[in-house]
Structure 1
Amino acid sequence: MEKRLGLSNNGASNSNSNIRGLQIFIADLRSSQQSQEQERRIQAELSKIKQQFTSSRKKSDSSNKLAGYQRKKYVSKLAYIYITSNTTKLSDILFGLDEMVELLKSNVFSEKYMAYMTLEILYEHQEVVNRVDDLVTAQLVKDLAGSNDDTVALALNFIGVVGRLKNGLAYNDDVITEVFQIIRSPTAAEHLKKKAALSFLTLLKTNIDILTGDLQRQNHWIQRILSLLDDSQNYRLLLSVLPLIEFIARYVNPSQCVRLIPQLTQILYKCLIGGTSQLAETQFPAEYMFANVPNPWLITKLVSLLSVLIISRSEISENRAGLLQASNIDTDNLGKLRLCVSKAIELGTRDVSDPMERIVQNTILFSLINFASKLDPTEEALSNSATALCSLLISSETNIRYLALDSLVKLCAISEKTVIDSVCKKNLNLICRLLNNEKDQSILRKLVDLLYSFTNVDNVKIIVNHLLKFILTSRTISDNKMKRDISVKIAVLTEKYATDTNWFVEISLKLLSISSNATNNDDLIWERLSQIVVNNPQLHKITCEQLVDYLNNNNTSETIIATGAFLIGEYANLITEKISIGELFNLFTDKYFIVSNTTKCMILTTMIKLYKFAPEIGSAVIKFFQLELNSLDIELQTRSYEYLKIIQISNSIGNKALLDTLFSGMPSFNSRTNPLLRRLGNLPDSSVNNNSSLWLKVNKSEASLAGSPERRDESSSSVQNSTSPLSSMSSNNGIAPAPPLSRSRSRMNSNVTSPIKNNGINDSYYSRQNLSSNWREGFTRSISHRQGILYSSSLIKILYRITNPDIQQMSILQVSLTFINQTEWEMSGFNTETISYQLQDSPSYIIQNVESLSSTSIMPHKRIEQKFNITIRKPFEVEKSVIFNSHFKCGGSVQFLSLKIGIGMTSTLVNNVEQPGMTLPEYIGRWRQLREGLGNDGEYQLVVRPKKSGAQDLSSSLIQIMKRLGFQVVEQDSISNTVFASGIIHTKSTGNYGCLVKLKSAISSDGDSREIEITCRTTSAGSLSKYVVDCINYAL
């Protein structure tokens, strides 16, 4: 079919190229020497075409109307004029839109092809859409519903091209329905299904309400779309369908797509493991091999979809309801995925001479290594991944080096020590050499991110020194912003991991001395340093002494001056052995006239603080303030005036009480967030916060760093919005404050948001399940019987068996399901899905160890099996039990079953026949104890009518039902028409509960039937007794 379509397209192309009038017109335009001559030729042709179209419309005789060939020729000329004029002549060709629509109605392929092609290039203009959209859409729907495959293909191409534009195609139900009908049709050609899948994806991106606006449509249509993967051998179709499924998984309903994980895993495994094997039976057809790799495009798309469906631990806090972690994937499929990662690493490290083969191998390597972090990889796998990526850092290809660095950054973010050992200890010299020699700015940024990601308390000095040397000596940094970003990273690393206080101060001040002009980043760095020094008394003196050394330098940066003004103003009295107060005043006087007004304000405050320490410099301070009264800056005037007044008042009253009060020592800071972390760029979340407990520490002999962080005088500090000091971390046993919340995952389309919200309860998906007809029969049976038939029809029979795999843990149940094909046709694409009522926030039960189906196809009258475990954590009502969905294709149609398995609180009971039962007096005694201890809180009563009416048969039937449920029945003859039973309810989290049940039968009030009064008392004051009675009621 595809070959036939290709021939048709070639025919259309040949037909178009054989339009002699078009060839002559193009030749005339190309031969024109001047633009004026070309313009005259175009205008002449436009006039001729307009005349032909006008005269054709006036003729009533159909034989004299414009022929299809002539109309196609003129429309093709209009299209060429539009293209060759760079779309500037749109208004000159609008008269031909009606003829384009007429050409669209033609049954001749070449004419319809020309009409669609021309409208595709014109439809981006709203004026074109306004004039012909209704007519085009009507013909489009007609073509989509037609039986001619070539015509349908043209219509789908048109939707794929213009569906994202501002027109109504994505909101037209007829268009949407026709495209979907092609997707679901069992008789549609393969190439049409491919085009339909991509066209539907285009419409869905434009209007996501196609699926989210109608839940019934969503469930039905998604099932049909997912069924396209059933033919796992049709790799061409898979390539087109996978992007559509990935969009659905990201933005519509990921829960429905999770069931595809085993199927996707098998396809990926077959491509990577089977396709690269030397065994003849696993070899891929040559048409699917590219650069000695089987189907690389399919591999990358499969990995991309699996990356959406499987989440890592760091993504649990996000709104990702219904997705799986690696711990919830069965061991068979998880093992296959890990084998695929190992094979990708093996391919990526293989020596090849063909550059195209190398590109393909690296593409697969990067996609799978980035995906591997979600598979709970072993330390060996992580180490191998890091080694493989490091080997690519010396590649001559810029893109390869960039992608290798990007993957290494992500690996370091999620696996800390293992990857750090493989990367840092073995390849640190290589990375630092690349940092010094690399010229590409984007790779330099990634190298810096990588160094930041694997820095820890052991290597912080080495890495910080390399980064400092880089920004001081490198000639490859042309972007000042990059220097500032590196400075921020250095500041964060020194604060986070430094254990040497002298080194911390030295590095911080060196950072501030690098920049000659103050920037926002520099402000953050010096403010953070000031905060840390204030909160750590042992840093006061050494910091101020080093600041004096910097201030004595003529080329001091303004940030150093600002830091010195703030800190020396606070602690000048500590360094008088090194420099006198008068010398400090002279030093700041010299710097005053080379800084900005903001820093000048700080220096003025520093001067009055120096006067507080040494009143003998008062005359010099007063003269300086008096000079600044004439400043052009109003803030400098105001400060100088206020400080003069303070000095005058202090002198008049003859003491320094006012100065001491107004300029008392700076209190500790207690903000809990480092503002520098907000300026780290697009590093992975974990790399921003990794090793967060390793903060600056000092010797215990130096006492706790800075005392109480409980006071904070905002008005007296020039450091605004700063963060908690290292002292507060140190005084808290080195434990850092909680890291900020993770950033949201980047979206494929910023205009599309997911409607799935994660509130801990999976009710948004659980409650939308449309259970199959007759589901309740199997549900009721599975409550009272440990094995039996869950569902039966002419197509399939499903058997169930509920057991306790560990007698010591009765709260863990194993459910075994057997699927029997009762038809004469093969069932293919068989996959299943288990849905629990609640996913997070302490669910009542959890589903674990879901094994893969023994096969995804069932031959006639054959069977396959699947097992999974259910752990009962706390009491729940049986109506919220597990829902089990199965999908398969049989006889060309897609089948879907949704059943509820009856797992309730009585499922954890066990009737131990070897253990002696309770006597009636013992039962009555415990019954009274429960009543006295809990009153009505632990009791529930319900009156029901049984299915059997015979008195003797009813009593024996009740006894059998209770024993089948797992209760121990009290053997007694003294009280007629009453059954007494007891049992232990087992739960994993809340413990075990005693349970007593009394069933009393009597004649109903109308006298026509019997009633059973069910009374249950438990050792729990909650709703457990009601949940038990509900299970008994179903069993009756």
Structure 2
Amino acid sequence: MPAVRGDGMRGLAVFISDIRNCKSKEAEIKRINKELANIRGKFKGDKTLDGYQKKKYVCKLLFIFLLGHDIDFGHMEAVNLLSSNKYSEKQIGYLFISVLVNTNSELIKLIIQSIKNDLASRNPIHVNLALQCIANIGSREMAEAFAIEIPKLLVSGDTMDVVKQSAALCLLRLFRTSQEIIPGGEWTSRIIHLLNDQHMGVVTAATSLIDALVKKNPEEYKGCVSLAVSRLSRIVTANYTDLQDYTYYFVPAPWLSVKLLRLLQNYTPPAEDPGVRGRLNECLETILNKAQEPPKSKKVQHSNAKNAVLFEAISLIIHNDSEPGLLVRACNQLGQFLSNRETNLRYLALESMCHLATSEFSHEAVKKHQEVVILSMKMEKDVSVRQQAVDLLYAMCDKSNAEEIVQEMLNYLETADYSIREEMVLKVAILAEKYATDYTWYVDVILNLIRIAGDYVSEEVWYRVIQIVINRDEVQGYAAKTVFEALQAPACHENMVKVGGYILGEFGNLIAGDHRSSPSVQFQLLHSKYHLCSPMTRALLLSTYIKFINLFPEIRTQVQEVFKQHSNLRSADAELQQRASEYLQLSIIASSDVLATVLEEMPAFPERESSILAVLKKKKPGRVPENDIKESKSPTPATANHSNEVNNANNSASADLLGLSTPPTSQPGNTGVLLDVLGDIYSGNKTNNASGANNLYNHKKFVCKNNGVLFENDLIQIGVKSEFRHNLGRLGLFYGNKTSAALQNFVPSLIWSEEQNAKLSIQLRSVEPTLEAGAQIQQMLNAECIDDYTDVPSMAISFTYNNMPQKITLKLPLFLNKFFEPTEMNGESFFARWKNLGSGNQQRSQKIFKASGVMDLAAARTKMLGYGMALLDGIDPNPDNFVCAGIVHMRSQQVGCLLRLEPNKNAQMYRLTVRSSKEPVSVELCELLADQF
């Protein structure tokens, strides 16, 4: 601490040395306690302490706090230092206040008054210290207290440049806390004209402020465009000697240039005036030209500064997307970086070219670098660069190069990093479908995909190939032949068995004429995989077998023997047991005509957006180019296999229990509609308790999700679909009658007292008293969060089935965390607020608990994302920790909440801490999330 030694605070230096020389934690604590007792005695007993001594003791307290110990005194002495005229004493006072004083402290009024005195001072050093303190605290109280003084300082002609610079940055900090602090009207133009200031430091700080203001109100600050272009032009055309004080390794004002280029990216187009637009294009051309010049220095700082400006200029060119010449030149410049020695440059070049590939002007120019990009995908040492190369290949793909790119990606997939395989599979599937001129090629690609990377092929991918085959007659025979050959491989992935079982069950008859793929051979081939598969896949194969009885009557006996096997009829899995027994009876009792009707071929799927594309967009939001795939999202083949098996047998209640109901578009009255609406097909075991036992009911599973099946038994299925915005919520309850008889006197009623309604207001719409057989009805519920609450409302559903009264009581998933608004913040802001909220035990809640199973951080991350708060990556020093921020919206107030989940892999334990400005909220949110683990 050179500043400390310069002031001659020998006692502080000795104390720090003593702490460093401690041999144990106990010795350190003993020395600190001794020093705290000494300081406390000095502050209480010695009334003659001068400014130097107060500064020394306050410095010691600050050092002790930074070591991790709580400090509960000395605040008043620090405040007294603010009135000193000595810079060193005032500096230490401000430093102590910035770090230790809570915004709820009783001293805050004294602090604000001292800061106001310094802001009015004619000493620029004192003004700067006050501004830095305001920015460090950055609270709403500070914003309200100085909403007039700081803007005046910023635009006043008497203010020194160094103070203006600090005022702009301080105002930016407060604007992020309270956006109302920036005055409008004439202040707008005065702030904008700071871009013309003679002092480059003022312009740099003002550009950061204006960029934030533009994001909030672009129209009001539109006048900044011409001034920003003018300032950028002067910098770009300047020699490095013209801006000597702001030149970094021969690059004039690189930081300001980058800020101005980013500011212009807030507008589309950035300049409506032809003159301004022409001047901006000249600037961008000049930056591209300078990139081609020989470097003025061999040092890495020079190339870093020059390339930073270049990449930001290219980002602006891509944003404008209106100048073909500039776009092509930018693409060529980036192409040169693909072979650069610097890994970061190669990564950035690939990333920027991904955006260029989506422009009609530069798409062809990007395709010229296809071979180099393929080489990057295969040969790069850094996995993030390989990932970026895959992204670029996906973006540059079109009809002319689709087959080549898909084949290269398939070849690389066998040796690709595990972290990128799943995403590559999705991209290959999308490209194969989008650019397939011959759907036999598409079938080959998807089957190869399953063969190469079966574990990474999501359900959406193999659902999709089934949709394509069912909807296109010309490819059905080829698909049956190809999948039959694929199943003959010694090692066959389970996803291949699923596809094979589904397609052969529908179209196996198209290849049965060849003795090599006769009905008996098909059946034996599929059944040889049966005992190696999961229960869900076995259930699908059983549906295939009943299909075979209809397609190939000659193997009826063989199939029936499988249904009769003890492992099926007595299976521990209720779904397998029920399918085997009901399919056996169907094959024995039903005539050939009935079988042909019940087990007829699947109808075509309706046209909707591809679910594969939706999955990819969710994984890479904002980075996936739009695709024109318009095919439908299929119902789940695994549990809804061969849905036409019950297409014309609605009188069979057991068929509904098998999950074989018709696709939603074909029969809008059955339970399949509910499953489609929820997007969450339930696959749990069925209960045989007709009286409404709720062993499938767990309302707390909805803490981290909004849609799904809330309750299910033999008689009824109750699904939930909900959405929330601020303190308002809407919840849809879907009641599906699973029986062959109507449910009479159907009355859902809310259990929620007036006292509870004062905290969570509920409005429930009524429904019709009769729920017809196989039908579904919807009931809407509106909720408003008025104040914090702990319990959730309950529903009592009463009805009569076969003249027997039934009643179901269940809790609704209207938890407090549903009213979260995610809040983004950086590490500095988070830990400053975390410290402030942790000053009182009443503001925080903590639970330490053991993981319910094997600790899975990926699953934990999914739960944290579904909890409603913003997951702040890269904030915590420990990468395994989860850090979140959010605001709970209520009618009368908003409660800010911060959360940390700290997994301990060795002990298989979690520590969950929630901090908020209201104790009941902290406790309830902590309890809710802890239950999920």
Gapped regions of structure 2 (runs ≥ 5): 633-662, 678-724, 727-933
Residues 622-633 of structure 1 mapped to structure 2, 5 A cutoff: 622-627=560-565, 628-633=568-573
Residues 720-869 of structure 1 mapped to structure 2, 5 A cutoff: none
Among 474, 490, 493, the alignment partner of 1:538 is 474
Amino acid at match of 1:636: L
Q: Deviations along 1:601-656, whole A, 9 cap, x unmatched?
A: 11011001111011121111111112211111101111111111211222xxxx31
Query: What is the CA–CA distance in structure 2 between the aligned matches of 1:717 and 1:422, rounded to whole Å?
Result: 49
1:571 is matched with 507
Residues 201-216 of structure 1 mapped to structure 2, 5 A cutoff: 201-211=172-182
1:28 aligns with 2:25: no
Among 342, 345, 362, the alignment partner of 1:400 is 345
1:553 is matched with 489
1:469 is matched with 411
1:440 is matched with 382
Amino acid at match of 2:141: G
Q: Deviations along 1:450-475, whole A, 9 cap, x unmatched?
A: 0000100010011001100111134x
Counterpart contact for 2:226–2:276, Cα < 8 Å: yes
Among 439, 444, 453, the alignment partner of 1:501 is 439
Query: What is the CA–CA distance in structure 2 between the aligned matches of 1:603 and 1:538, rounded to whole Å?
Result: 25
Among 99, 107, 112, the alignment partner of 1:137 is 112
Counterpart contact for 2:434–2:627, Cα < 8 Å: no
Counterpart contact for 2:193–2:227, Cα < 8 Å: no
1:150 aligns with 2:125: yes
1:441: Cα distance to partner? 2.1
Gapped regions of structure 1 (runs ≥ 5): 1-9, 60-64, 212-216, 277-282, 312-324, 696-708, 723-751, 754-1036
What SS is found at the alignment partner of 2:414? helix
1:711: Cα distance to partner? 6.8
1:594: Cα distance to partner? 0.9
Q: Deviations along 1:854-904, whole A, 9 cap, x unmatched?
A: xxxxxxxxxxxxxxxxxxxxxxxxxxxxxxxxxxxxxxxxxxxxxxxxxxx
Query: What is the CA–CA distance in structure 2 between the aligned matches of 1:494 and 1:591, rounded to whole Å?
Result: 28
2:559 is matched with 621
Evaluate the alpha carbon distance shift between residue 286 and residue 588 of structure 1 in structure 2; reply closer, same or farther with a 3 A threshold: same
Percent identity for Structure 1 against Structure 2: 29
What SS is found at the alignment partner of 2:265? helix
Among 147, 162, 177, the alignment partner of 2:148 is 177
What SS is found at the alignment partner of 2:90? helix
1:218 is matched with 184
1:373 aligns with 2:318: yes
1:679: Cα distance to partner? 2.3
Counterpart contact for 1:156–1:199, Cα < 8 Å: yes
Evaluate the alpha carbon distance shift between residue 463 and residue 575 of structure 1 in structure 2; reply closer, same or farther with a 3 A threshold: same
Query: What is the CA–CA distance in structure 2 between the aligned matches of 1:94 and 1:463, rounded to whole Å?
Result: 65
Query: What is the CA–CA distance in structure 1 between the aligned matches of 2:379 and 2:447, rounded to whole Å?
Result: 27
1:346 is matched with 289
Which is worse superposed, 395-404 or 295-304?
395-404
Counterpart contact for 1:389–1:404, Cα < 8 Å: yes
1:41: Cα distance to partner? 2.7
Q: Deviations along 1:387-435, whole A, 9 cap, x unmatched?
A: 100111122222211111111011112x13x42322223x221111111
Counterpart contact for 2:204–2:259, Cα < 8 Å: yes
Query: What is the CA–CA distance in structure 2 between the aligned matches of 1:130 and 1:616, rounded to whole Å?
Result: 87
1:241 is matched with 206
Counterpart contact for 2:331–2:353, Cα < 8 Å: yes
What SS is found at the alignment partner of 1:631? coil
1:107: Cα distance to partner? 2.2
Amino acid at match of 2:518: S
1:794 is matched with none
Q: Deviations along 1:274-302, whole A, 9 cap, x unmatched?
A: 447xxxxxx62322222222111110000
Counterpart contact for 1:512–1:525, Cα < 8 Å: no
Amino acid at match of 2:181: I
Counterpart contact for 1:402–1:446, Cα < 8 Å: yes
1:102 is matched with 80
1:688 is matched with 625
Counterpart contact for 1:386–1:422, Cα < 8 Å: yes
Which is worse superposed, 560-569 or 219-228?
219-228
1:528 aligns with 2:528: no
2:930 is matched with none
2:233 is matched with 269
Evaluate the alpha carbon distance shift between residue 548 and residue 713 of structure 1 in structure 2; reply closer, same or farther with a 3 A threshold: farther
Counterpart contact for 1:120–1:161, Cα < 8 Å: yes
| Structure 1 runs (4+) greater than 6 angstroms displaced | 691-695, 713-722
Amino acid at match of 1:604: L
Counterpart contact for 2:664–2:676, Cα < 8 Å: no
Amino acid at match of 1:450: L
Among 374, 386, 396, the alignment partner of 2:331 is 386
Query: What is the CA–CA distance in structure 2 between the aligned matches of 1:612 and 1:547, rounded to whole Å?
Result: 21
1:516: Cα distance to partner? 4.2
What SS is found at the alignment partner of 2:85? coil
Query: What is the CA–CA distance in structure 2 between the aligned matches of 1:42 and 1:15, rounded to whole Å?
Result: 21
Evaluate the alpha carbon distance shift between residue 717 and residue 450 of structure 1 in structure 2; reply closer, same or farther with a 3 A threshold: farther
Amino acid at match of 1:581: P
| Higher gyration radius (CA) | 1
Counterpart contact for 1:541–1:574, Cα < 8 Å: yes
What SS is found at the alignment partner of 1:533? helix
1:378: Cα distance to partner? 3.2
TM-score (structure 1 length as normaliser): 0.59
Evaluate the alpha carbon distance shift between residue 524 and residue 718 of structure 1 in structure 2; reply closer, same or farther with a 3 A threshold: farther
1:159 aligns with 2:134: yes
Evaluate the alpha carbon distance shift between residue 350 and residue 435 of structure 1 in structure 2; reply closer, same or farther with a 3 A threshold: farther
Among 588, 599, 614, the alignment partner of 1:648 is 588
What SS is found at the alignment partner of 2:193? helix
Query: What is the CA–CA distance in structure 2 between the aligned matches of 1:487 and 1:633, rounded to whole Å?
Result: 32
What SS is found at the alignment partner of 1:341? helix
1:362: Cα distance to partner? 1.2
1:111 is matched with 89
1:411 is matched with 356
Query: What is the CA–CA distance in structure 1 between the aligned matches of 2:118 and 2:32, rounded to whole Å?
Result: 33
1:25: Cα distance to partner? 2.1
What SS is found at the alignment partner of 1:348? helix
Amino acid at match of 1:289: T
Counterpart contact for 2:39–2:57, Cα < 8 Å: yes
Query: What is the CA–CA distance in structure 2 between the aligned matches of 1:472 and 1:14, rounded to whole Å?
Result: 61
Query: What is the CA–CA distance in structure 1 between the aligned matches of 2:57 and 2:611, rounded to whole Å?
Result: 66
Query: What is the CA–CA distance in structure 2 between the aligned matches of 1:548 and 1:721, rounded to whole Å?
Result: 31
1:147: Cα distance to partner? 2.5
Query: What is the CA–CA distance in structure 1 between the aligned matches of 2:62 and 2:592, rounded to whole Å?
Result: 89
Query: What is the CA–CA distance in structure 2 between the aligned matches of 1:683 and 1:383, rounded to whole Å?
Result: 26
Amino acid at match of 1:245: I
2:255 is matched with 297
Evaluate the alpha carbon distance shift between residue 622 and residue 716 of structure 1 in structure 2; reply closer, same or farther with a 3 A threshold: farther
CA RMSD, Structure 1 to Structure 2 (Å): 2.8
1:234: Cα distance to partner? 2.4
Evaluate the alpha carbon distance shift between residue 662 and residue 295 of structure 1 in structure 2; reply closer, same or farther with a 3 A threshold: same
Structure with the bigger RCO (C-alpha within 8 Å, sep 6+) is 1
Q: Deviations along 1:978-1028, whole A, 9 cap, x unmatched?
A: xxxxxxxxxxxxxxxxxxxxxxxxxxxxxxxxxxxxxxxxxxxxxxxxxxx
1:13 is matched with 3
1:502: Cα distance to partner? 2.3
What SS is found at the alignment partner of 1:688? coil
What SS is found at the alignment partner of 2:92? helix
Amino acid at match of 1:456: D
1:14: Cα distance to partner? 6.1
Query: What is the CA–CA distance in structure 2 between the aligned matches of 1:239 and 1:562, rounded to whole Å?
Result: 61
What SS is found at the alignment partner of 2:411? helix
1:374: Cα distance to partner? 3.4
1:372: Cα distance to partner? 0.6
1:712: Cα distance to partner? 4.5
1:70 aligns with 2:53: yes
Evaluate the alpha carbon distance shift between residue 224 and residue 465 of structure 1 in structure 2; reply closer, same or farther with a 3 A threshold: same
2:372 is matched with 430
